């Protein structure tokens, strides 16, 4: 059977690269990119594109009826730092957008639904080192609260209705292709741009703030691998812990200096994003993902840094 895939929120940091990867695997005409604004990249010209607001259920219904998707990826969301500026909008978009998709997936018998969660579901009471799949989860941002609630809805729809929902708790995602989307981990993208442009960067997170990160290539590959996995092997229907590499701004800067010796790192004090980061894990235990669908990252700090700088140089 030919897969028909709809990606909602296709213009975001993950969506832009996920759509390209899916079209490479399933064919350009079988992957429909959807967003509320026109793509900045070549997504629109490389295959079907639809203007869609995930809060408009009638419009969503039209898309489901038109394409009858076998897979749906819902990526539309307000991220952590942006969400704190407008918490009620963040809750509305992140929660009601998900519920709209889950309901329509049942109506149109969509085979698989993908929805991303985040390390933001953890909070000050969660273990910081090798944070386990199951532990105290007390998120202190509206983004994290909405993601934790969304995880419970995903598992509920699977248990009550048999809907095949799959999810990953993304760490910070680092990419050279798309602009960051308002997350607390975005310093790890800005720092590369500024290193090449100015040979300096002022970090809004402190020198010793260690956070889990992942290179976009690994994030996209892991997402597709989860969606391709046999349903019977998946033991987590809330959201999988997902690990790449953890580091601090100071450690990342030291790696960048191996390529740009004159690079200098400074720090901005009293940024509200520091308080968000303080409640998040330093490293992640992703043993369920390893055991259930053989997850393994390919990029470490050194290979990621080299690839980021090389690709950014070529785009200047």
- Span 126-146, pLDDT tens digits: 999 999 999 999 999 999 999
pLDDT at 46: 82
Q: How many helices and strands, by DSSP H and E, does the chain display?
A: 13, 14
Torsion angle of the four alpha carbons 244, 74, 225, 31, in this order, in degrees rounded to the nearest 10: -130
Q: What is the pLDDT of residue 39?
A: 77
Q: Is 156 helix (H, G, I), strand (E, B) or coil?
A: helix
Q: Which of 148, 113, 111, 126 is nearest to 239 (CA)?
A: 148
On the question of pLDDT at 207 being above 90, the answer is: yes
Spatial distance between the Cα atoms of 315 and 189, rounded to a whole number of angstroms: 15
- The three-class DSSP label of residue 281 is coil
Residue 79 reports pLDDT greater than 90: no
Report pLDDT for 211: 97
Write down the mean pLDDT value for the chain.
Answer: 94
Cβ pair 230, 240 in contact under 8 A: no
Q: Residue 139: its pLDDT value, please?
A: 95
Q: Give ∠ CA 167-276-274 in degrees, rounded to 5.
A: 135
- Catalytic residue list contains 143: yes
* Higher-scoring residue by pLDDT: 56, 12: 56
Chain position carrying tokens 């149109």:
108
Q: Is the full-model pTM beyond 0.75?
A: yes
Cα 313 to the center of its chain, rounded Å: 25
pLDDT mean over 229-251? 97
Q: How confident is the model at residue 80 (pLDDT cuts 50, 70, 90)?
A: confident
Q: How would you classify the pairing of strands 117-118 and 5-8?
A: unpaired
- Confirm if 50 and 34 have CB atoms less than 8 A apart: yes
Q: What percent of the chain lies above the pLDDT cut of 90? A: 85
**Residues 26, 73, 114, 143: which is the catalytic one?**
143
Domains of the chain: 5-172+215-241 (3.40.50.720), 174-213+245-315 (3.90.25.10)
Average confidence (pLDDT) over 100-127: 97
Give mean pLDDT, residues 282-293: 98
Please, are residues 72 and 105 in contact by the beta-carbon 8 Å criterion?
A: yes
Nearest to 91 by CA among 144, 139, 52: 144
Residue 41 confidence (pLDDT)? 59
β-strand pairing of 165-166 with 112-114: parallel
Record the tokens describing residue 37, joined without a space.
């604004």
Tell me: the pLDDT tens digits for 149-184? Answer: 999 999 999 999 999 999 999 999 999 987 666 678
Cα separation, 316 vs 196, in Å, equals 9
In this structure, of 40-44, 97-101, 238-242, the range with the lowest mean pLDDT score is 40-44
Taken as a whole, the chain contains a residue count of 316
Q: How confident is the model at residue 316 (pLDDT cuts 50, 70, 90)?
A: low
Confidence of residue 43 (pLDDT cuts 50, 70, 90): low
State residue 42's pLDDT score.
62
């Amino acid at each position: 059977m030919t897969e028909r895939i709809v990606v909602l929120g296709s213009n975001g940091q993950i969506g832009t690269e996920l759509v390209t990867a899916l079209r490479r695997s399933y064919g350009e005409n079988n992957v429909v990119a959807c967003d509320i604004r026109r793509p900045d990249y070549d997504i629109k010209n490389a295959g079907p594109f639809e203007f869609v607001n995930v809060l408009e259920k009638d419009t969503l219904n039209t898309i489901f009826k038109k394409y009858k998707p076998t897979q749906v990826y819902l990526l539309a969301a307000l991220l952590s730092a942006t969400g704190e500026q407008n918490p009620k909008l963040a809750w509305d978009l992140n929660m009601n957008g998900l519920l709209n998709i889950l309901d329509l997936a049942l109506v149109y018998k969509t085979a698989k639904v993908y929805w991303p969660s985040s390390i933001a579901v953890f909070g000050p009471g969660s273990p910081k080192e090798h944070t386990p799949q199951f532990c105290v989860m007390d998120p202190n941002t509206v983004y994290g609260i909405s993601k934790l609630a969304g995880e419970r809805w995903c598992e509920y729809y699977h248990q009550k209705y048999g809907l095949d929902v799959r999810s990953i708790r993304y760490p910070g995602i680092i990419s050279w292709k798309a602009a960051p989307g308002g997350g607390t981990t975005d310093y790890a993208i800005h720092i590369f741009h500024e290193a090449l442009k100015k040979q300096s960067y002022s970090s809004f997170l402190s020198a010793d703030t260690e956070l889990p990160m992942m290179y976009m290539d690994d994030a996209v590959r892991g997402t597709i691998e989860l969606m391709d996995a046999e349903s019977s092997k998946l033991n987590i229907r809330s959201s999988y812990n997902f690990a790449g590499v953890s580091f601090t701004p100071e450690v990342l800067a030291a790696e960048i200096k191996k390529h740009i010796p004159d690079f200098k790192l400074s720090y901005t004090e009293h940024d509200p994003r520091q308080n968000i980061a303080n409640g998040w894990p330093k490293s992640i235990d992703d043993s369920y993902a390893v055991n259930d669908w053989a997850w393994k990252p390919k990029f470490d700090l050194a290979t990621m840094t080299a690839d980021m700088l090389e690709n950014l140089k070529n785009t200047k």
